Structure 1
Amino acid sequence: MTATSSPPPTPPAPDAEQPLLTAHAALVLLMSIFFGTVIGVLTFLSVGSVAGALLAGLPAFGVSAVALHKLIGP
């Protein structure tokens, strides 16, 4: 008994227009930017320090990007 193998799939044509970001990636990044900005602005209004706002907003962006990537399916 011999195993038959199907031919490998053909790659897309190089001329095919492919988006730079998928809709999933764009949504996750935009929502993460929004959450990081909101946390940063609220921290700035509370503390009055730009450094403190950055130290709160940047991790909020990173954590929300990871969480949203896992929560929103592709």
Structure 2
Amino acid sequence: MTHRQSRRPADPGPFLPLRTAVVLLTALDCGLFIGSLTALTGAHPAAAVIAGLTTAGASTAALRTLIE
């Protein structure tokens, strides 16, 4: 009988670093907030979605430099 040693793979770590997760979640919150406010003004729903996506994209770049 041979003795097999079970080897576990090395821990790959988290899927996303904490800083990246915070930046993306904060950008998502900003986009949802601005999209909701735009929708409440009576604008077309597509315009609210575009406003939210634009805000999320722009805030991602800004938050990346602010959160360290």
**What TM-score bracket applies, with the shorter chain setting the length?**
0.7 to 0.9
Is 1:70–2:65 an aligned residue pair?
Answer: yes
Q: How does 1:1-74 map to 2 (within 5 A)?
A: 15-73=10-68
User: RMSD across aligned C-alpha pairs, in angstroms?
Assistant: 1.1
| Cα distance in 2 for residues equivalent to 1:61 and 1:27 | 13
Report the count of equivalent residues. Answer: 60
Listed as ranges, the gaps of 5+ residues in structure 2 are 1-8
After the TM superposition, which segments of 4 or more aligned residues of structure 1 sit over 6 Å from their partners?
Answer: none
TM-score of the superposed pair, with normalisation by structure 2: 0.81
> How many angstroms does 1:69 deviate by?
0.4
Percentage identity across aligned positions?
A: 40
TM-score (norm 1): 0.75
